[in-house]
Structure formats: structure tokens, C-alpha cells
């Protein structure tokens, strides 16, 4: 039986059939695209940006100085003149909270940076070299882990003079242990990949392989953990200032304000509420951002 060719229509081949319609995205661009889909992460990022800008610009826009005393307006409740009320010396609490944000955020960012430097170098060397070097370095970490970190920090603050520098030193010497293990674990899995063997074959040195190839490929977990270290530094500063071993007067931090407000919580609760709310909101914002970054930087979730 013959087949009638008129029953068929030849398919037309389009010139752009093989063209790539979707634009190619780099790893960072794809991570940002997925991060924007997380509402809580973007909310946390917005709060962090707002708090940072408010801390930098806010005190200059207010007619009050953070250390200016007005004994005629002592312990006033929130009003149109003083949005957060005044403290026991008549100082504007709104300006002091904004100025305290400078100190607390500075400690948070600098403390996280110091820990990032120590943990990446220590964990990177341990994981990359392996063998006896890895065993000795990890035993040191295990010994330090057996000592309560808060006790070490308090002992250091007793020896050192209270202040920003002492807080950064105490935080940098104690809070890098967990991240060092994470970096080590990442490098133990990455150093067996083909690109490391290719770099060795081409004559690349150990340090070049470590800092040029391995650590950049492990930056996902490192960035996430660093984001979560910032609220730890802020909370540590608030705790040390609360017990009188942190930032000292006339400087103001959220911990100092919370300590002052705690003493008058029954009579003037707003003096504790506003600095405590600033600490809580900032810590939640960093945790929301850290959770979003963890999902955005996970290569297993790429689509």
C-alpha cells in the first residue's frame, strides 16, 4: 500500500533551536538569586543594613549627644522629645542606643574577621597537610574544647584591661575552635579532587594549592559560619559589659545600656527594653541571614 506524501508536513528547522535562552550564571550570581527567594534572609539582611546605617548616621542627625547630661530631665519616659526616654543622668536613650550599635556591631564584625583569619589558616593547614601535623593540631583543639570558653574569656578579661581591644583578643583566642574543625573537614574532602592533582602535576606549591584552590572552594560553609559568629561576638560583648568587664564609661554599648537599665527595671522598664530589643532583633537578623546563606551556598541545592 502506497503512502500519500500529502498527508505529511515537513518539520521546519529553526535557526535558533540550539541557542541557549537562559543566561549563564556564575556561582555567586546563582547564590544571590536563591538568597533573594528567602524572605526571612532578605528581612535579616535589610535589618542589618538598616542598623548599620542608623549606627553610622543616626547620632549625627540627633540634637542630643550620647554623653550629654541633663539632670532636669532624669528618667523621663518615651516622648516626642526623647523617643526612647532618658536614663538616670538625663541622657537621651535613643542616641545612646544608636551609638551603642556602633560599638556592638564593630565588635561583631571585627571579632568575626579575627576568628575567620585564625580558623581558616589553622583548619586549612591541619586538613591539607594531614598525618601527624593534623593529629597534633586537632588534639590541641580537643584540649581547648574541654575548657569552658566563657570561663576562659572571663579569666582573660580579669588579666587584661576592660575595653574593645581586650574583648577582641578574648573572642579571637577562644571562638575559632568550631570553625577550624569545619574548615579541616572541608579540606579533607576537597584535597582528593582531580583539580588538586592537576595543580600538583603542574608544579604548584602546597601553599598555592591551599590558598588558591582549596580554601576558595570551601568558602560556602566558611561564610555561613562567619555570619553566625557575628551575633556570638555581639552577645559576648553584651554579656561582658553587663557584668562590668567589657566596654567602660563614657563609651556606650548595648551591654552597658542593658546593665544600666537592669538596675532600674521595676521603676523605668524602658531603659532596659530598648537596648535589649536592639540586641535581640540584631541577633535574629544575623541568624535569619545565616540560614538563608546556608541554603543559597549549598551546591547540592543548585538547579
Q: How far apart are CA 30 and CA 27, in angstroms?
A: 5
Q: What is the pLDDT of residue 47?
A: 92
Q: What is the pLDDT of residue 258?
A: 84
Q: What is the pLDDT of residue 20?
A: 55
Regarding pTM above 0.85, the answer is no
Q: What is the pLDDT of residue 61?
A: 82
Residues in the chain: 303
Q: What is the pLDDT of residue 302?
A: 54
Quote the cell numbers at residue 177: 575552635
Q: How far apart are CA 275 and CA 253, in angstroms?
A: 9
Q: Which residues of 84-113 are buried (b: 16+ CB within 10 A; e: fewer)?
A: bbbbbebbbbbbbbbbbbbbbbbbbbbbbb
**What are the residue ranges of helices labelled H in 161-218?**
164-174, 177-190, 194-201, 206-208, 215-217
Return the SS3 of 89. coil
Residues whose CB falls within 8 Å of the CB of residue 147, separated by 6 or more in sequence, listed in order: none
| DSSP conformational letter for 38 | -
- What pLDDT digit, counting tens, does each position of 147-192 carry? 777 777 777 777 777 777 777 777 777 778 778 888 888 888 888 8
> Taking Cα atoms as reference points, which of 151, 148, 168, 150 lies closest to residue 246?
168
Q: What is the pLDDT of residue 26?
A: 66
Could you tell me the fold of the domain covering 54-301?
MetI-like fold (1.10.3720)
Q: How far is CA 54 from the centre of its chain?
A: 18
Ranges of the chain with pLDDT below 70: 1-3, 8, 11-27, 249-250, 298-303
Evaluate whether 55 touches 105 at the Cβ level (below 8 Å): yes
Amino acid at each position: 500500500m502506497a503512502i500519500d506524501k500529502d498527508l505529511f508536513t515537513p518539520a521546519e528547522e529553526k535557526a535558533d533551536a540550539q541557542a541557549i535562552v537562559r543566561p549563564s550564571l556564575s556561582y555567586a550570581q546563582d547564590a544571590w538569586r536563591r538568597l533573594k527567594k528567602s524572605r526571612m534572609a532578605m528581612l535579616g539582611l535589610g535589618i542589618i543594613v538598616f542598623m548599620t546605617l542608623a549606627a553610622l548616621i543616626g547620632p549625627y542627625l540627633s540634637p542630643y549627644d550620647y554623653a550629654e547630661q541633663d539632670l532636669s530631665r532624669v528618667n523621663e519616659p518615651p516622648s516626642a522629645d526623647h523617643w526612647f526616654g532618658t536614663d538616670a543622668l538625663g541622657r537621651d536613650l535613643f542616641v545612646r542606643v544608636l551609638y551603642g550599635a556602633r560599638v556592638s556591631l564593630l565588635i561583631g564584625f571585627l571579632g568575626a574577621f579575627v576568628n575567620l583569619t585564625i580558623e581558616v589558616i589553622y583548619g586549612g593547614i591541619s586538613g591539607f597537610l594531614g598525618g601527624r601535623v593534623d593529629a597534633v593540631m586537632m588534639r590541641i583543639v580537643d584540649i581547648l574544647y574541654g575548657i569552658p570558653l566563657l570561663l576562659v574569656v572571663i579569666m582573660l578579661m580579669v588579666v587584661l584591661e576592660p575595653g574593645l581591644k581586650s574583648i577582641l583578643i578574648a573572642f579571637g583566642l577562644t571562638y575559632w575552635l568550631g570553625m577550624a574543625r569545619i574548615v579541616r573537614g572541608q579540606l579533607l574532602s576537597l584535597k582528593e579532587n582531580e583539580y588538586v592533582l592537576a595543580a600538583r602535576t603542574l608544579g604548584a606549591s602546597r601553599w598555592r594549592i591551599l590558598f588558591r584552590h582549596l580554601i576558595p572552594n570551601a568558602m560556602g560553609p566558611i561564610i555561613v559560619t562567619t555570619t553566625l559568629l557575628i551575633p556570638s561576638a555581639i552577645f559576648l560583648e553584651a554579656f561582658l559589659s553587663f557584668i562590668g568587664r567589657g566596654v567602660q564609661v563614657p563609651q556606650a554599648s548595648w551591654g552597658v545600656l542593658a546593665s544600666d537599665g537592669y538596675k532600674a527595671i521595676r521603676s523605668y522598664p524602658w531603659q532596659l527594653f530598648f537596648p535589649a530589643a536592639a540586641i535581640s532583633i540584631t541577633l535574629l537578623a544575623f541568624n535569619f541571614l545565616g540560614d538563608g546563606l546556608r541554603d543559597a551556598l549549598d551546591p547540592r541545592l543548585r538547579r
